[in-house]
Amino acid sequence: MPTRRPKVTVVVPVYKVEKYLRECVDSILRQTLKNIEVILIDDGSPDDCGQIIDEYAKADKRVVAVHQENSGYSKAVNRGIEMARGEYIGIIESDDWIEPDMYETLYNDAKKNRTDVTKGMFYFYNSTVLAGAQNSVFRNPSNVDLRLAPSGVFQAKEWPKLIAFHASIWSAIYRADFIKKIPIPESAGASYQDFPFMMQFLTKAKRITVVKRPFVHWRNDPEQGNSSSARGEKLLLMAQNSKLSLEIAHKYKDYDKIREAVFIQILWANLSFFEREGFRLRGAYYKLLREIFSEIAGDPTFKFQYFSKHDKDMVKYFLVKNGRAKYEVHRFFHRIRSALHKFARTFFPTYRTVTYLKWQNWEMEHQLEMMSEEIQAIRKQLEK
């Protein structure tokens, strides 16, 4: 009797995460959608991860344990996608965990709308901050909010903000015969390989939907060792992958409609990496970003549509003469201001209260802005 095809295959690349691995896998196996396949790929992890995934494979027939020499995130995920038997494929990072109904909800939406890509929202988790703020719904630095995505099926050219939002390839499912044709670029040890991968599938997808609920708890603890805490020459690979992403975007026939979103994503994908790079390597990083942003230098058709004043100011450093020196001066004084703010928040309760009230005011303004956009979207639908 033939084996029933899984509705969803979940691919989990595993490397040096024994502290978090069980929480991750348990959250997948507790899914309300029972007909799933879980492929756990031990990428040559030096800790006990290999033994842990073997235990899961023995205990649950839905789990497939794979062991390989350390080859990097891309090759591990590509191998899992190649092996996957499911109608749809999801990717989960092995230090994160997910809500129990994630795959049932995404799968039902994908089947209903016959999508290539169905994406959900996610939480930003950091255990080192105050308890009430540890697990907050992610909003990107330019305030792109997935709750404002179209309610039905769309393409990237119709809502480019999906590109501007965040790569987060682990918060979606993909139609198997669609995504199997789009491998993640295989550069071992690289940072942010999901950026060029995202650019490929979003520009090729004909049918995309967004489920406006958070499902993944994206862990960002300082000690966990993911790309958010990378250092040194590894960070330069972020800029190189951004350059590759831009090359992919250029091939899209409606590139002019997504261009602004591509560049704001490039800025925010690189900014924190660039700013924490050491002085020596920051020069090399600067040259790479200057080369990327040279495309929009002096271009009157580029309107900085998704760029805040701060975003525009940062881009200028990559476009103007002596921009590197000007940036270093800016960085020096910014660090002094940050240190003073930290000191004031620590020792002066009144200052801390004022800062909180300013944040609350900003949050209210953002909510009003979202409501205004939603009203405009409803008006457009009614006019049709």
- Report d(CA 187, CA 164) in Å as an integer: 23
pLDDT at 278: 81
CA dist list (Å): 42 to 64, 76, 376: 11, 8, 48
Residues 51-103: tens digit of each pLDDT: 999 999 999 999 999 999 998 899 999 999 999 999 999 999 999 999 999 99
H/E run at residue 291: helix 279-293
pLDDT at 142: 76
Map 122-158 to HEC letters.
EEEECCCCCHHHCEEECCCCCCCCHHHCCCCCECCCC
pTM equals 0.84
Q: How many CB atoms lie within 10 A of CB 83?
A: 14
pLDDT at 368: 63
pLDDT at 277: 81
**Segments in the chain below pLDDT 50:** 1, 188
Question: Which pairs with CB-CB distance under 8 Å and at least 24 residues apart come from 338-347?
Answer: none
- Give SS3 for 217: strand
